Amino acid sequence: MDANSVMHGFLRAPDGKITVFDPPGSQQTEAITLNSSHQVVGYYYDLNGVQRGFLREPDGAYTIIEPPGSILGWPITPGNINESGEISGYYLGANSIWHVFLRSPEGKFTVYEAPAQATSSLTRNMG
């Protein structure tokens, strides 16, 4: 969080160098986790206050994470990324049901319905 109370993502290199980052159009960024390849997943709020998931590649390129059935502005939270680049997370769908997703490195989504109370623990354990 900077002096203006704006949250940014960051990476710390083994030599102590800090790289601060924000997806394009972000007004708040929350980096959740990374893998050993330095791919980072998290979420951000865009300039309209819409929460979006993201994948940041080591070269600084971004992919927006939007699972099928997600509604613009509803929470989408990537929770983990494994060494293969698979991303797990959760979101609230149009039918007000929580869904857990697994996104392949190629961008294919597998979606599961889960009880709201189970969503957070499921995504933490999928990586």
Mean of the pLDDT values across residues 97-119? 80
Indicate if the pLDDT at residue 127 is higher than 50: no
Q: Which of 26-30, 90-94, 102-106 has the lowest mean pLDDT?
A: 90-94
Indicate the pTM of the whole model: 0.83
Taking the C-alpha atoms of residue 82 and residue 102, their distance in angstroms, rounded to an integer, is 11
- What end-to-end distance do the CA atoms of the chain give, in Å? 26
Among the listed residues 54, 46, 44, 39, the one whose alpha carbon sits nearest the alpha carbon of residue 89: 54
pLDDT tens-digit readout, 73-84:
667 888 899 999
Between 17 and 95, the higher pLDDT residue: 17
